[in-house]
Amino acid sequence: MQKFRHYLSLIKFSHTIFALPFALIGYALAIKETTLTTEFKVKLLSLVVLCMVFARSAAMAFNRFIDRKIDAKNPRTATREIPAGIIAEKKALYFVIINGVLFIATTFFINPICFYLSPIALFTILFYSYTKRFTSLCHFVLGIGLSLAPIGAYLAVTGEFALLPILFSFSIFTWVAGFDIMYALQDEAFDKTEQLYSIPSQLGVHNALRLSVIVHFITACLILGIGLYSNFHPIYWIGASIFNILLVYQHLIVKPNDLSRMNLAFGTTNGVASIVFAFFTILSIYLTT
Q: Domains in the chain, start-ordered, CATH in brackets? A: 2-287 (1.10.357.140)
The mean of the pLDDT values for the chain is 94
| 55-78 tens-digit pLDDT | 999 999 999 999 999 999 999 999
Whether 229 and 167 have beta carbons less than 8 Å apart is answered as yes
CB 114 within 8 A of CB 103: no
- The model's pTM is 0.94
Question: Does the structure show a pLDDT above 70 at 179?
Answer: yes
Distance CA 112, CA 37 (A): 20
Mean pLDDT, range 227-245, rounded to an integer: 96
Task: Considering only CA atoms, give the Rg of the chain.
Answer: 19
Q: What's residue 32's pLDDT?
A: 87
